[in-house]
Amino acid sequence: MPPINPGSVRYVFVTGGVTSSLGKGIISASLAKLLQARGYRVTIQKLDPYINVDPGTLNPYEHGECYVTNDGAETDLDLGHYERFLNMPTSQANNVTTGRIYQTVINREREGAYLGKTVQVIPHITDEIKRRIKLLGETGEYDIVITEIGGTVGDIESLPYIESVRQMIWEMGSSNTAVIHLTLLPYLSTTGELKTKPTQHSVKMLLEYGIQPDVLVCRTEKPVSNDLRRKIALFCNVNINAVIESIDASTIYEVPLLMLKEQLDKVILNKLKLALKHEPDMVAWKDFLGKLKNPVYEVHIGLVGKYIELKDAYKSIAEAFIHAGVSNECRVKLEWIHSEKIDPENPRASLGTLSGILVAPGFGERGIEGKIAAIRYAREQKIPFLGICLGMQCAVVEFARNVLGLKDAHSSEMNPQTNNPVIDMMAEQKAITSKGGTMRLGEYPCNITKGTKAFQVYGKTKITERHRHRFEFNNKYLDAFEKAGMQASGTNPDSGLVEIVELKNHPWFVGVQFHPEYKSTVLNPHPLFARFVKAALDKSNGALQETKGDTTAAYAG
């Protein structure tokens, strides 16, 4: 069927019902992947219903990792999934919170922009929400914009978003918009049945708000029979082929192929009156998935951090290891190690079985001595090491204390009184008191010295990476470090700030001030992770165990 309205941008909305954590982000990213693989230009946006202006000030225990984009936005971790699936950068425009919406409206009110009007949720807040949704479409860069609405239908705080979706459909017309409702079919083991009632209620609630969903994606642990699909279609007023089964998968990277089998992409394109073009080109994706499921080797790597109770706190790192594992045909078994549990007198007890140690990013003093002890162990025992952000800063502190003999060396974040602040705050940062959005954020260039491990990793001298920190290597100490064998192999060309350190007499010991994990994608595994996994593999015998690794964790979010 030829497109009715070929020039216009189409908007797809993804809402969630019944419970949270059904995986709206993964469904959105999977649909986007399939549409991209059919030749459409697609982007995904997340609308978050909380009052924080961005998740940068949220505790990782509360909300998982804060993901940082090239333009320095601190965003929801779903944006990480969007980038990893689509292999394309996102930006501030891809993540909007209620706090940001209200901040904009209130600022405009103070400027007098509403000319004496009473400022209200409808129309002022909903207009601002719609403006933010349309912004991406108006760039001219996309054919389809997928907007994921955070929260669950029925939540008080999601109401203005749902109302904005209703208005968008009314304004844009039915063939320019589609609504996907992600829902759960609980399985009752006593009767051996999948139940549809929560889905019926959830759709009824959407109908009360004036929205008829076009597609129901049903999360389920058992296959959904045709009879059940017919029943759901009838009660929820959708086409039978628009009842999509989303069965539990062993890895999130399988979901696009499951959605392809269920023809989610075709159903959506038909609704949008867009041509199917060609079958999705998923050759590289399938190759990745094949290697992920059939590794040749296995390696144990320790992730040392203090937020390990919530694995989402290190989401991008865990995913980067999956990508890097595949590029080495290797299953990376991540051992999550709480830095507070490492005994500085006996680090081997926690770290003895590992072939590689990663010390994670973080903030504040808690658990810091455990991280430093883990680094000392990696350095002395010649175990491959990667330190990210705080992990790199701890490596610098450890080297200062135990190699340079500066016993009280520390980061001034942890000990503002130290006589040897080998990690210190930049002058520009010292004047800043406000916490939100004030770190060194986003993409910065870095020059790499030839003949170093960093150069082996990147294979070039000019790179860019994303940052999120306030503290920096203190260049007053650089000479002493380099003379003793810790080299600054990457520096910022404008400020001279040290971005990468590495040890000369160690098989693989690298610390980076930036966050490489944000840039690792399925089709472009990050070379730092890939090389680190390779070094760990070289250290171990790599034998594959029968047990299943972390790559098999079910998806949610």
Q: Which residues bind ligand GLN (CB under 6 A)?
A: 361-363, 389-390, 413, 468-471
- For residue 388, the minimal CB distance to ligand GLN (Å) is 7
- For residue 361, the minimal CB distance to ligand GLN (Å) is 3
The total of other beta-carbon atoms located within 10 Å of residue 501's CB is 26
- For residue 311, the minimal CB distance to ligand GLN (Å) is 17
Q: Which of 262, 398, 517, 526 is catalytic?
A: 517
Residue 148 or 413 having the CB closest to ligand GLN? 413
The total of other beta-carbon atoms located within 10 Å of residue 479's CB is 9
Strands 297-305 and 356-359: parallel
Residue 356 or 361 having the CB closest to ligand GLN? 361
Residue with the two structure tokens 């610098």:
396
* SS3 per residue for 1-17: CCCCCCCCCEEEEEEEC
Catalytic residue check, 138: no
Residue 213 or 361 having the CB closest to ligand GLN? 361
Q: Which of 389, 469, 499, 502 is catalytic?
A: 389
Q: CB of 465 within 8 A of CB of 92?
A: no
Residue 23 or 55 having the CB closest to ligand GLN? 55
d(CA 208, CA 202): 10
Catalytic residue check, 515: yes
Helix (H/G/I), strand (E/B), else coil: 503: strand
Nearest to 515 by CA among 389, 398, 410: 389
Angle at the Cα of 171 from the Cα atoms of 166 and 177, rounded to 5 degrees: 65
Q: What's the maximum distance between 2 C-alpha atoms anywhere in the chain?
A: 75
Residue 10 or 469 having the CB closest to ligand GLN? 469
- For residue 354, the minimal CB distance to ligand GLN (Å) is 21
Handedness of CA 152, 153, 154, 160 (dihedral sign): positive
Residue 428 amino acid letter: E
Phi/psi region, residue 45 (left: phi>0; alpha: psi -120 to 50; beta: rest), is beta
- For residue 439, the minimal CB distance to ligand GLN (Å) is 6
d(CA 466, CA 270): 39
Q: Beta strands of 306-406 (E only): which ranges?
A: 330-338, 356-359, 385-388
Residue 102 amino acid letter: Y
Angle at the Cα of 489 from the Cα atoms of 483 and 494, rounded to 5 degrees: 110
Indicate the DSSP class of residue 50.
S
Residue 124 or 515 having the CB closest to ligand GLN? 515
- For residue 413, the minimal CB distance to ligand GLN (Å) is 5
Residue 184 or 317 having the CB closest to ligand GLN? 317
Q: How many CA atoms lie within 13 A of 536 on its CB side?
A: 32
Q: CB of 327 within 8 A of CB of 296?
A: no
- For residue 405, the minimal CB distance to ligand GLN (Å) is 24
Q: Chain-centre distance of CA 553, in angstroms?
A: 16
Residues marked active site are found at: 389, 515, 517
